Structure 1
Amino acid sequence: MKTDSSDLMVLRTSSLTGVLERELEHLILTGELKPGERLNEIQISTRFGTSRGPLREATRSLQAKGLVDIIRNRGVFVRSVSAKEALEIYDVRAAVFGLAGRLLADLVTDQILTRLNAFLDQMDEIAAGKDFDQYYPVNLAFHDYLVTSTGNETLVKEYKSFVNKLHLARARGLVQAGGLSVSNREHREMVDALASGNRERAQEAFFRHVERSKIRFRSTLEALDPPVES
């Protein structure tokens, strides 16, 4: 089947849009583009050597993911997630992550457990040095591996959406709460629950981990903005 020039142009534009979307998402999730910051089309187009068309398509995709707001006659802004919204997301994320634990308890294999324990050992080593910048990406990879191992694509999509939004709100909560080692002890509880094959135990361990993360996040908020005594 022959592909004409118009088909190739659509393919190139679609491919470029996907690349731009991934690059901008990376800049947002790593904090280079900060919550509330306006995306300057001219600067971004120059940086990535592209026209504004694919860039606008990419920002619409990021809007659908909840990472940016497009405001008419004003532009595109990195989304800000309020403390209230973040706490609500933690509640829903706990339910979804608990379900992931329940599903995975029926699917777990020795190979999966070996991979999970390798993650735990790596995070223990990093936590001993209290190095958040090294710990955080490994922590994310650990959780991503747990969720994707369920094979439930709908669950994976929803979970990642929650995580992306929380990226915009929480930054260094684990360090400020002194919780790297504490968090990894909870990770070991989760893996032990999976190894037991008990669905209820796994669901509870996964749910409880997110609930505790919410508590750490809340304590960080209170440390940054303590309540006024009456």
Structure 2
Amino acid sequence: MSVTEDPGESSELVTLKTSSLTSVVEKEIERLILGGKLRPGERLNEFQLANRFGMSRGPLREAMRSLNAKGLVDVVRNRGVFVREIPVDEALEIYDLRSAIFGLAGRLLADKLTDEMLSKLKGFLKTMDEHAANGDFDAYYPVNLAFHAFLVTSTGNRTLVREYQSFVDRLHLCRTRTLVQAKGLSVSNYEHREMVDALASGNLSRAHEAFFRHVQRAKLRFLSTLEEPGDGDRAPQDKTAT
């Protein structure tokens, strides 16, 4: 994946190759962060990453700048680049913003729901019910993410999708598995069913409320995972289904 200048290539082509490489590397590092392979607080070793991807440090630094702009890494002067750690107070603010955007998504979607969309949503619910019955978080969680992504993208509002996804990505840095215990997965999917029923009713206000309330409940579940409610310093590194 290294970028080398061919004497016969134009500077524009070299720039395009570098830009393309930066984008590929950025997506791969983002995947490692969101997948938990690179943990919050972990230092990203520039030399090791350059070797891993077989590239020069220039495109890698561009990728880091972009990830910093997305709020996924922190660039600390004279120390390096670190996977971002989200403090509890910031996580709660993100939950509030996410609930507002998700509520709007419910209102918009209720006005354009088709039989085909409804059928697909019911398919998601059925699959998640099966995984919840087996207590299989690892199978449940990706379907849960796909369900939410389908709801948001189906609004057709690209700006809403982009902003919503940025909040979801940042929350990945401070949440993982809390709904494995008790009947958490089933509770979460019960809320999903409330949302789908609200959409099917065609009532915009009801859909807005169901979507908004779902994220607010997720926020309460997140709060319940804090080891010491008064500590307010850092979010636990565990995923919650929403």
TM-score w.r.t. structure 2 length? 0.88
Contact 2:132 2:185 (C-alpha < 8 Å) held by counterparts: yes
Supply the distance in 1 between the matched residues of 2:16 and 2:181 (Cα, whole angstroms): 46
- Alpha-carbon RMSD: 1.6
Change in 2 beyond 3 A, CA 1:227/1:8: closer
Corresponding residue pairs, total: 224
Residue 10 of structure 2 corresponds to 5
Residue 6 of structure 2 corresponds to none
Residue 81 of structure 1 corresponds to 86
Residue 193 of structure 1 corresponds to 198
Supply the distance in 2 between the matched residues of 1:202 and 1:96 (Cα, whole angstroms): 13
Deviation sequence 1:81-111 (CA, Å, 0-9, x none): 0111111111111111000000011111111
Unaligned runs of 5+ in 1: none
Q: 2:50 aligns with which of 45, 50, 75?
A: 45
- Structure having the higher helix fraction is 1
Supply the distance in 2 between the matched residues of 1:139 and 1:173 (Cα, whole angstroms): 14
Whether 1:225 and 2:228 are equivalent positions in the alignment is yes
Contact 1:174 1:217 (C-alpha < 8 Å) held by counterparts: no
Unaligned runs of 5+ in 2: 1-8, 232-242
Residue 104 of structure 1 corresponds to 109
Supply the distance in 2 between the matched residues of 1:51 and 1:99 (Cα, whole angstroms): 43
Runs of 4+ in structure 1 deviating by more than 4 angstroms, as ranges, are none
Report the identity percentage. Answer: 70
Tell me which moved more, 138-147 or 6-15.
6-15
1:198-213 to 2 correspondences below 5 Å: 198-213=203-218
Deviation sequence 1:35-68 (CA, Å, 0-9, x none): 0111001111111111111111111111111100
Whether 1:22 and 2:30 are equivalent positions in the alignment is no
Q: 2:41 aligns with which of 13, 36, 42?
A: 36
Residue 240 of structure 2 corresponds to none
Structure 1 counterpart of 2:161, one-letter code: V
Name the SS for the 2:43 alignment partner: coil
Residue 55 of structure 1 corresponds to 60
Residue 95 of structure 2 corresponds to 90
Supply the distance in 2 between the matched residues of 1:173 and 1:17 (Cα, whole angstroms): 35
Q: 1:139 aligns with which of 134, 137, 144?
A: 144
Residue 185 of structure 2 corresponds to 180
Q: 1:170 aligns with which of 172, 175, 183?
A: 175
